[in-house]
Each structure stands twice: as structure tokens, then as C-alpha cells.
Structure 1
């Protein structure tokens, strides 16, 4: 790989990191799409990490904040974290530190989608709403809490 190509790839990585946080796995995938060699990818990512441009803890915090702001539950957050290359143990530690109230988040997500409660829901509509909330990554207890709290208002 010639020096000009290496400089272009380095500039590309810096441009990406200037826009948002990325995990090492995501950056490696983007560099592979640009036909970078595995050796150079490793070298470039190590260089970025040594300068503090890549920080897995900072990325993990950013990722968790983005996902919870989208109204996603813990199951979905953990599933997407695996796809993004986030360290699961580090993410679980961060979730415990931030003391995220998944029940409250489920309630907010439910109310954002469906508004304040309909007293009478037929079986089909209730099943549809439960599926939506499960897709968002909430457990049945959290969904039940959100539905009951909304009906109770």
C-alpha cells in the first residue's frame, strides 16, 4: 500500500471520528470497505487509540445514551451493542452505574407511540402494542407496567 493511500485512509478515519464516536470494530469494517490491508488497519487503529481518538469507554457511554434516547429497552441495547462491537461487560457496568430505569423508559416509549391510555383495548390491538414494545427491547414486566400505568392515568 503506497504512502498516498495510507494518508487518505488516515484522513478518512480522522474525518469519521470528527463526526461521531466509533468502536474499533466499526472503523475496521469501514476501512475494509476502502480495501485497506489488515496490517494497516491494525496499525492505524492503534495509532488512533494511542492519541485518544478512539476510547471504548467513551464510545460505550455515547452508544448507551443514543440508544436510550431512541427509547430502546435493555434487550435491544445489548443486542445492538454486540453488532457494533461494544464490550458487553463494560456496557453492563455502565448500565448499572447510570441506574437506568427501564420501566420508566418503557412508559415514555409507550406514551410517545400511543399517547395516554385507551381504557378498552381489544386482544388484537393489545397484542400489536406488546409486539411493538418487545421489538423495542423491553421485557414483558416493563411492557405490562407501561400499559397499566397509561390506562391508570
Structure 2
């Protein structure tokens, strides 16, 4: 029971400082067990259920918050957002559900990104600018359809 309380205290400190996905929290707890509890992993499942009951970890809410923050501070297309969330260990069904629920105007976001970037490309011929725009937008995770729509808008 003492080791459970130790782990719970540690998990609560983590969860109150920053939002974690279930997979990230489980990884942190495993590391904690290795260092402090001599690899006593039996308590992790019990603790994870408790943290979910207390709503400290919730993959659906984590996805919504992650996407909201990314769109505001580091704009990305849906493809890259999806990939980043999958790398964080979130179930693909949850990721797809959240991406379908959240309204992201990729065209507007891409247009803002291009407007910032194209100022540096004015010295190049238009075909080079288009190539750079295509590469830039695809590296930011925008779909092909969105990229072509943006290229048509920006380079008429």
C-alpha cells in the first residue's frame, strides 16, 4: 500500500503540472517503478484506472487540447497532427474521432503560413515559389487538395 501511495503522489504531481496521454503517463510510471520501487509494475494498471476515474488522464480531452494548442501556436495540417498524436501513443480511433469533431480550417491556416513565408521568396521566379510553397505546406502536414487550393489562391 505504501508503494501505491508513493506512485499515486508521483502521478498526481505529474498530472497537475502538465497534461499527459495514457501512454505517456504509463511510461512515466514504469520509469518511476524501475528507479524507486524495484520494478513493481502490478500497481500501474490499478493506478491508471484511478487516474482516469479522477479525470487526470483522458486521451480524448488530451487530443482536443493538443490540437487546439497546435492550431494556435504551431499550425499544422491534419495529417501531421494525426501523426504526432499517434506517436504519443493515442489510439487511432480516438485520434480520428477528435480530428473529425474539431473544426480546423486548413485552407485559412495554410494561407496564413504561406503569407508569412512567401515574403522571403519574392526574389525567385514564380515556378520556384510554387515549388517551395508545395514543399513547405506538405512538410507541415497539409493534404494535397488543400495545397493545390492554396497554390491556386496565392499564385493566380
TM-score (norm 1): 0.79
Q: Is residue 2:119 matched to residue 1:121?
A: no
| d(CA) in 1 for partners of 2:150, 2:53 | 45
Aligned pair count reads 149
Quote how far apart the aligned CAs of 1:6 are.
4.0
Q: Hey, what does 1:40 align to over in structure 2?
A: 43
Which deviates the most, 74-83 or 37-46? Answer: 37-46
- Output the CA distance in 1 between the equivalents of 2:4 and 2:126: 60
Aligned partner of 2:28 in structure 1 is: 30
Does 2:141 align with 1:137? yes
Gaps of 5+ in 2: none
Q: Which runs of 5+ in 1 are unaligned?
A: none
- Aligned-pair distance for 1:40? 1.8
Q: 1:54 to 1:149 in 2, by over 3 A?
A: same
Please show how residues 96-107 of structure 1 align to structure 2 within 5 Å: 96-107=100-111
| Equivalent position of 1:52 in the other structure | 55
What CA distance in whole angstroms lies between the structure 2 residues aligned with 1:147 and 1:104? 12
2:7, 2:139 → 1: CA distance?
37
- 1:16 equivalent to 2:14? Answer yes
After superposition, the C-alpha distances for 1:114-150 in whole angstroms (9 at most, x for unaligned) are 3498494343x54333222211101222123223323
Using the alignment, how far apart are the partners of 1:71 and 1:106 within structure 2?
8
C-alpha RMSD over aligned residues: 2.6
Q: Cα 1:42–1:104, aligned 2, differ >3 Å: closer, same or farther? A: same
